[in-house]
Structure 1
Amino acid sequence: MKRRRTDSLHSEVTGGPLVTVSRSSFWLEDGSVVLQAESTQFKVHRTILSRHSSVFKDMFAIVRPSESEPSVEGCPLVHLSDSAQDVTYLLEALYDQTCTSRRVLPFPVVAAMLRLGTKYDFNALREEALLRLRSEFPSSLEEWEVLPSNYTHIQDHDGILFDIINLALEQGIGSILPMAYYLCIQDFDDILNGIPREDGTTARIPPEVQRTCILGREKILVAQAENTLSWLDNDYISLTCSEREVCKATCASLVRWVYKPQAHPGRSLEKWSQLSKGPLCPMCTVDGKETHETGRRAMWDMMPVYFGLPPWEELKDLDR
């Protein structure tokens, strides 16, 4: 399967006007079909497309080449309404198996795999894209707890969080939205003003998502005080506290640390070990940790609801 270099040419469309198009690097000498996306053509194999996509399989089974149909170099021409870049990423995934390696993929590649994988039923590509997205934004607290601070399956870039949110909304992947929104609300300025990119553009979320995040942030701050951090309500934590002055001083210090100059929604899911500061007596430590972890679990369970979404189990079932 030898590829020709990318160049410009006049299409050899039978029975139609000459149109200048760009020939992509996917121009295989033994290809049997030409795909055209925007002004770029790709000469590839019908058998490869049919093997991986039920949509292309059915289309090729119904449509038979004829002299009256457009063709290029004797191959039928199929026009696609997708971007040329997305089609390039799709073909790279099919032919070069870029998606099956464990290496980190750029977001546009993952987006193309999901978008075209869904549209044309390239099921393996779609599932791989979903796996990567769900790995970054899990739907269980246990998975969230062990998640690294950096992206591990999708290449990071300025504004990637907003790009992922917009893709999830476009493709109906609701299960990743709660934690994507949760990360989004950690920086209030970004919600309002967007995230500048190196190319001069700004990543933004739609106004309705801004509203969802702002309202969700306020709900989480209230719930955080009532659940995860409720053990800070009193001067000391346990009724059987054995070091009241010590524990009172520690709790006062923690209140200042947590709430000054203002509360931060990121405390909602922090572990006890991340939050506890200063000495506490054994009973306050036990009772505080139990209250903290119970509240933390309750906040996780309610996370979708804070953002106006269905509960976790329903969200998973609703993924298109």
Structure 2
Amino acid sequence: MPIHPHSDDEGEALDLQNTRVQKRARCSGHDDNEGLGESSSNEQSSQSQMDFWFHDGDIVLAIERMLVRVHKRVLSRSHVWDDMLEIPQPSYIETYDGLPLVKLYGDTANDWLSLLRWLYNDRQFYTSPSASHFPTLSGALRLSTKYDFPALRTWCITRLLTLWPPLSLVPSLSSTPPLPHALAITLARQTDVPEILPAAFYSLATLKWRNAADGGNAHEVLSPGDLRRVILGREALQELIDEFRSTLDDSPSTLAASDPHYTCKTVLERRWRKAFKDGIGSSNGNGVCVLRTLQEMMIENLEEACDGHLRWHRELARERMEKVVDAVPRMFML
């Protein structure tokens, strides 16, 4: 019986970690990690499938080329699944080894493996390093949204917000490993997580695309509307950077060349021009160059500048960082 379910209620994880696998499923697994280089071997896929082939399972799920034999009571922790399993069945239904066979169209095997690992041992799932890898995280979020497992969905969103946080926190992020910003935008649209969009759009727009970073395949991943947002936002951000580089209109009053503070002003003007001389994506393609540069300027110590001018320099960097953070949602029409 094919099922195309949707989400409508809540679910929780159930820990059945002591249940043992007794039988191998008949079909090999199929891997799909969204082009991120995470594909498993056939042996690994078969082992993953065996992990969820329980001798006392009472329902068989078919996802792509993978079969798993699991427990209705586990699936029923989601009211979506509980409602589906309560629907009266016709006299003839597809079976596998004498059990109901449910074919899940539109889902992927890898997404289901993420969900099942959480369902059968949520504590182990939460502490596993692989749970924070984007393919696992995105799969868990898709299915927790589709089938309404709110605890898992909340955890996934919390993890995503550590990768794509509020813009004011973006400068403190590590630039390695590179993040799949375009995939994150698509995931946020699919699963209704708009909180990560400003950081994801900003980071994608500030990449040096010719380095074959995430921007290199953005046109294949993003919708036409979101691709247009990236382009327009990048242009608007570049205009703002040009302003930072070429003008210091808020600087202390004009000084004569003979004034001892004239050197301070010259040093600071040179610092601002140098900081943004190459424009968008000029740092190393890490997607945080603009905000990170401004954050560095807020705390740096320039020995050639007097205390008064240095305080002005740091305050100007703070004001302009706030300006960028405030402007990004408008730049990308979010």
TM tier, shorter chain? 0.7 to 0.9
What does residue 76 of structure 1 align with? Answer: 100
Q: Which runs of 5+ in 1 are unaligned?
A: 10-21, 151-155, 310-320
Q: Does structure 1 residue 223 correspond to structure 2 residue 240? A: yes
The CA deviation at 1:183 is 1.2
Q: Deviations over 1:111-143 (max 9, x none)?
A: 1111111111111221111111112111252x4
Is residue 246–residue 273 contact of structure 2 (8 Å, CA) maintained in 1?
no
The CA deviation at 1:179 is 0.8
For these two proteins, the number of residue pairs brought into alignment is 281
Do the aligned partners of residues 195 and 137 (structure 1) sit closer, same or farther apart at CA in structure 2, a change above 3 Å counting?
closer
Aligned residue runs from structure 1 range 193-212, under 5 A:
204-212=221-229
Q: Does structure 1 residue 296 correspond to structure 2 residue 321? A: yes
Give 3-state SS (helix, strand or coil) of 1:295's partner: helix
What does residue 266 of structure 1 align with? Answer: 289
In 2, the alpha carbon distance for the partners of 1:32 and 1:135 equals: 38
In 1, the alpha carbon distance for the partners of 2:333 and 2:301 equals: 31
Give 3-state SS (helix, strand or coil) of 1:42's partner: strand
Give 3-state SS (helix, strand or coil) of 1:164's partner: helix
Q: Deviations over 1:241-273 (max 9, x none)?
A: 773232133034214413434465833452134
What does residue 137 of structure 1 align with? Answer: 164
In 2, the alpha carbon distance for the partners of 1:115 and 1:293 equals: 38
Do the aligned partners of residues 292 and 120 (structure 1) sit closer, same or farther apart at CA in structure 2, a change above 3 Å counting?
same
What does residue 2 of structure 1 align with? Answer: 20
Q: Does structure 1 residue 96 correspond to structure 2 residue 113? A: no
Task: With the length of structure 2 as denominator, give the TM-score of the two structures.
Answer: 0.71
Is residue 31–residue 44 contact of structure 1 (8 Å, CA) maintained in 2?
yes
Give 3-state SS (helix, strand or coil) of 1:8's partner: coil
Is residue 299–residue 314 contact of structure 2 (8 Å, CA) maintained in 1?
no
Is residue 215–residue 307 contact of structure 1 (8 Å, CA) maintained in 2?
yes
Task: With the length of structure 1 as denominator, give the TM-score of the two structures.
Answer: 0.74
Is residue 168–residue 176 contact of structure 1 (8 Å, CA) maintained in 2?
yes
The CA deviation at 1:35 is 1.2
Aligned residue runs from structure 1 range 245-264, under 5 A:
245-262=262-279
What does residue 146 of structure 2 align with? Answer: 119
The CA deviation at 1:276 is 6.5
What does residue 330 of structure 2 align with? Answer: 305
Do the aligned partners of residues 285 and 267 (structure 1) sit closer, same or farther apart at CA in structure 2, a change above 3 Å counting?
same
Q: Does structure 1 residue 49 correspond to structure 2 residue 72? A: no
Aligned residue runs from structure 1 range 152-171, under 5 A:
156=177, 160-171=180-191
The CA deviation at 1:203 is 7.1
Give 3-state SS (helix, strand or coil) of 1:100's partner: helix
Do the aligned partners of residues 190 and 44 (structure 1) sit closer, same or farther apart at CA in structure 2, a change above 3 Å counting?
farther
**Structure with the bigger percentage of strand:** 1
Is residue 114–residue 139 contact of structure 2 (8 Å, CA) maintained in 1?
yes
Q: Which runs of 5+ in 2 are unaligned?
A: 1-18, 28-45, 283-287
The CA deviation at 1:42 is 1.1
The CA deviation at 1:281 is 1.7
AA aligned opposite 1:57: D
Q: Does structure 1 residue 85 correspond to structure 2 residue 107? A: no
The CA deviation at 1:185 is 1.8
Do the aligned partners of residues 211 and 278 (structure 1) sit closer, same or farther apart at CA in structure 2, a change above 3 Å counting?
farther
Do the aligned partners of residues 136 and 193 (structure 1) sit closer, same or farther apart at CA in structure 2, a change above 3 Å counting?
closer
The CA deviation at 1:176 is 0.7
What does residue 65 of structure 2 align with? Answer: 39
In 1, the alpha carbon distance for the partners of 2:289 and 2:211 equals: 15
The CA deviation at 1:217 is 1.5
The CA deviation at 1:57 is 1.4
AA aligned opposite 1:267: V
What does residue 153 of structure 1 align with? Answer: none
In 1, the alpha carbon distance for the partners of 2:302 and 2:229 equals: 33
The CA deviation at 1:31 is 0.7
Is residue 58–residue 71 contact of structure 2 (8 Å, CA) maintained in 1?
yes
In 1, the alpha carbon distance for the partners of 2:91 and 2:237 equals: 64
In 2, the alpha carbon distance for the partners of 1:261 and 1:277 equals: 21
Alpha-carbon RMSD across the aligned residues, in angstroms, is: 3.4
What does residue 181 of structure 1 align with? Answer: 201
What does residue 137 of structure 2 align with? Answer: 110
Give percent identity, aligned residues only.
27
In 1, the alpha carbon distance for the partners of 2:323 and 2:272 equals: 21
The CA deviation at 1:76 is 2.1
